[in-house]
Amino acid sequence: MKIRYLYPFVWFILVIIGSLSPQRNLPSIVIFEHADKVVHGIMYFIMTVLLIPALMSEKKYTKSYIFSFFTSAFCGLVMEFLQYSITNTRSADILDFFANCIGALLGIIFYQYAIRNKKIEKKLFKIE
C-alpha cells in the first residue's frame, strides 16, 4: 500500500468500527433530533478530504474529486447495507446515507477552498 493511502485507509477502518459496533458501546448523542446525521456527515467529510490528496497524484483535480465523492458515497451505502444485514443492534437508514453523501460533498467544497488558499492547504495537508 502506498503511504498516501494510509490516512484514508485508517479512517475507513475507524468508520467501519464505528458503523458496525453495537450502539450500546457508542456514546449517545442527544443534542437535538437527528444529531447522528451530523456525525455521519462529519465522518464522510473527513473520508473525502483524506481521499482527495491521496488520489491527486494519479488523477486530475476533477477526477480525484469525483472519484473521492463516489468512493465515500459507496462506502456509506455499503455500511448501511452491512448494518441492515449483519448486525442485530444497528439498522439501515436512507437519511444516514444522504448525510454521508452531503458530508462527502462538503468535503470536496472544503478541499477546493483549501486548494485556493495555499496557507490552509499547507497546514492541513502538509504540502510544501
d(CA 46, CA 41): 9
Cell of 51: 481521499
76 pLDDT tier (thresholds 50, 70, 90) = very high
Higher pLDDT, 36 or 75: 75
- The C-alpha angle 84, 24, 35, rounded to 5 degrees, equals 75
32 pLDDT tier (thresholds 50, 70, 90) = low
Residue closest to 48 by CA, chosen among 1, 106, 87: 106
Is the full-model pTM beyond 0.95?
no
DSSP line for the chain: --GGGHHHHHHHHHHHHHHHS-GGGS----SSTTHHHHHHHHHHHHHHHHHHHHHHTTS-HHHHHHHHHHHHHHHHHHHHHHHHHH-SS----HHHHHHHHHHHHHHHHHHHHHHHSHHHHHHHH---
56 pLDDT tier (thresholds 50, 70, 90) = confident
Residue closest to 114 by CA, chosen among 125, 102, 100: 125
